[in-house]
Structure 1
């Protein structure tokens, strides 16, 4: 009587021989049949075009999303006075800044500006600055510190308080 091990071993052997036979057939066909080679090259080109098209669509969608997010936030506008609106504005700025930062070094200056505006909108800017320092790339932090230095030495940006003023408000 045939036991289960023999059936499984036979099935595995048949599958292995079939796979090996297919590989040999495919290789011979690929090497000797010019029509088959052209068909394979055309299929590879078609796959590459589809991959590029999908990548372009995804990139355009990310750009539209970033643009839409930026239009809704207006990082150069005034910071809301209402605490709830200010918190919502702060969260949107952080999201927008992270999105910009994730798009690469070319977007770091814009991301730094958005993060700086978020720091201005936050109730404890120094604490947030320390948290951002741990989580953001060094290039962005350098830009934020330059903005901070310009803000402290050059006065206020329109619509926002300086970080020093915000710290003084927290102390009072």
Structure 2
């Protein structure tokens, strides 16, 4: 039995039509589900909240005179940065790594380690973002110090 080109074309066309019908059918079933929109909204809200949390300093800056608090903040920022980079959220990951570099006492050593361990494009993104993150962190620390002075008065 010999298969001609036209027979093969017809078979591929029928298979494509069946696959497309399968996709449309299950998409309709999914959309008819009364909980679908609710689940979709919840998933989007969680993603939005996670994104908002990851882009802020969390408002919990450590006391610069407390070595333990600074060390804890540094480790937390490194871990968050690594997790976000692994998850594919480059902007937020670089943001947290930048915060860690900004509070690190040995900035050059840390940058050397990061340069060796990170892909070059991500490391260059970190270097670009570092002045902005450092300035924001500095302003935030200044604002916290001012609030503490007002509390004393």
TM-score of the aligned structures, taking structure 1 as reference length = 0.44
* Higher RCO, Cα 8 Å, sep 6+: 1
Larger radius of gyration: 1
TM-score of the aligned structures, taking structure 2 as reference length = 0.49
